[in-house]
Amino acid sequence: MKQFDVNILGCGSALPTLQHNPSCQVVEMCEKVFMVDCGEGSQLQYRKSKLGFGKLNQIFVSHTHGDHCFGLIGLISTLGLLGRTGDLVIHGVPDLELILKPQLDYFCKDMSYKVLTNTFDPKKSEVVYENRSMKVTTIPLEHRVPCAGFLFQEKQADRHLIREKIDFYDVPVKERVNIKQGADFVTNEGKIIPNSQLTRPADTPRSYAYCADTAYKEDIVDIIEGVDLLYHEATFTESDISRAKKTGHSTARQAAMIAKQANAKKLILGHFSSRYTDNTVLLKEAQTVFPNTILANEGLCESL
C-alpha cells in the first residue's frame, strides 16, 4: 500500500508552553506532502522532522487564530530563501487572505514563487483539493471565529490484475484498463471470463479527519463516518466543561463521543490547554468512552 502518514509537529493550544508547540501537522499521502495549520515555529518543527521543504505541496489552515497561522509568513519566506519555484497553494477561510496579503506585499515582494490562496466557506462541507488518487473535504466546525476541519480521503483504486490469469487468457494490453475497472473479458471464441477470475479486490481506501478548535458538534459525524484516524481537539477535561463551552472548545470525553458515534477506528487527542501539566488525565477521560484513543505529541507519526 502507498504511504499514508500523519505527523504531529505541534499539538498545544493558544498559550505557549515548554511542553507543546502550537498546532501543526503534516500529512503524507499519495506521494505528496500536505501541511495542516501552521502555528508559530512550525517551520522549525518541520525541519526537525526531516520531511524536506521541497516536498511540501499544499497548506490547509483551519482558522485565523494565531496558534494556527502565525507560522505561515516565516515558512513562506524560508521557502523563498531556499529557491522554491513552484506555486504554493494555501487553503483557508476568507479572512486568511486579508491577513496574508499585506505580509506578502511587505516581506515577500521578490520571491521566486507565487503564493496562491484558495478560500472556502467554512459553513459548508466541500471538496477543496482533488487529484487522481485522493481528495480533501472541509468539515464545518463550531468555534469563536469561522473554522473548518479537513477530511483526507483516498479514492477507490482499480482492482489488481492476476498476472497468471491475464497471461493464460492472453488478454490484450488495451483491454486491461477496463478489466482493472471491473469489466469482464470476452475471448476470441466468445467465451466470457468473469472479472472475479482475472482480478483481486483493490485495497480499501483510507481516510484521516482533522478536527481542531471546535465545540462539541454532532453534525460532523456523518461527514467523518468510518474514518480510519480522527484527530479531535480535547482542550479541556469535563471538570472544565463550562470553560470549553465559553471558548468554543471540546472536552476529552466529548472528543471520544464524536469518535464513537462516527465509528472511527482510532482517535488522537490534541490542542491541549496549558493548565494541564499531565495530559494523561485527558487520555483516561476519553478512553472511558472510546478505548482506542492516544495522545498527540510532537514527533508522533501515525501510519494508516
Q: CA end-to-end span of the chain, whole Å?
A: 10
Residue among 65, 76, 79, 78 nearest 37 (CA): 65
Q: pLDDT tens digits, residue range 24-83? A: 999 999 889 999 999 999 999 999 998 889 899 899 999 999 999 999 999 999 999 999
d(CA 280, CA 211): 20
Give the least confident one: 69-73, 186-190, 207-211, 237-241.
186-190
Shared-domain flag, residues 207 and 70: yes
Q: Residue 231: phi, psi to the nearest 5?
A: -100, 120
Region 227-252: what's the mean pLDDT? 98
d(CA 203, CA 40): 38
Shared-domain flag, residues 144 and 91: yes
pLDDT at 16: 87
Shared-domain flag, residues 244 and 101: yes
Shared-domain flag, residues 45 and 141: yes
Shared-domain flag, residues 45 and 84: yes
pLDDT at 285: 98
Any idea what the CATH number is for the domain that residue 134 is in? 3.60.15.10
d(CA 106, CA 128): 28
Q: pLDDT tens digits, residue range 72-116? A: 999 999 999 999 999 999 999 999 999 999 999 999 988 999 999
* Mean pLDDT of the residues in the chain: 95
% residues pLDDT > 90 (the chain):
90
Tell whether the model's pLDDT for residue 209 goes beyond 90.
yes
In the annotation, is 158 catalytic?
no
pLDDT at 215: 98
Tell whether the model's pLDDT for residue 2 goes beyond 90.
no
Give the least confident one: 3-12, 44-53, 117-126.
44-53
**Location of C-alpha cell 488495451:** 174
Q: Domain ends where: 200, 232, 257?
A: 200
pLDDT band at 1 (very low <50, low <70, confident <90, very high): confident
Shared-domain flag, residues 123 and 144: yes
Shared-domain flag, residues 173 and 36: no
pLDDT at 30: 87
d(CA 167, CA 194): 15
Residue 20, all three cell numbers: 507543546
Shared-domain flag, residues 165 and 67: no
Q: What pTM did the predictor assign?
A: 0.92
- Tallying the residues shown for the chain, one arrives at 304
The Cα-based distances of 86 to 41, 75, 83, 262 in angstroms read 23, 15, 9, 38
Which distant-in-sequence residues (6+ apart) come within 8 Å of 9 by Cβ? 21, 24, 25, 26, 42, 45, 46, 49, 298
Q: Domain ends where: 200, 215, 230?
A: 200
Contact indicator for 220, 136 with CB cutoff of 8 Å = no
Shared-domain flag, residues 92 and 235: yes
Catalytic residue among 67, 184, 222, 228: 67
7 beta partners: 26, 301
pLDDT at 281: 98
Shared-domain flag, residues 195 and 139: no
Shared-domain flag, residues 100 and 44: yes
Shared-domain flag, residues 57 and 125: yes
| Torsion of the alpha carbons at 105, 108, 112 and 115, rounded to the nearest 10 | -60
- Give how many domains the chain has, as a whole number: 2
Domain residues for the domain of 194 are: 160-200
Q: Is 2 helix (H, G, I), strand (E, B) or coil?
A: coil
Q: What angle do CA 79, 4, 271 make, to 5 degrees?
A: 70
Q: Domain ends where: 148, 182, 200?
A: 200
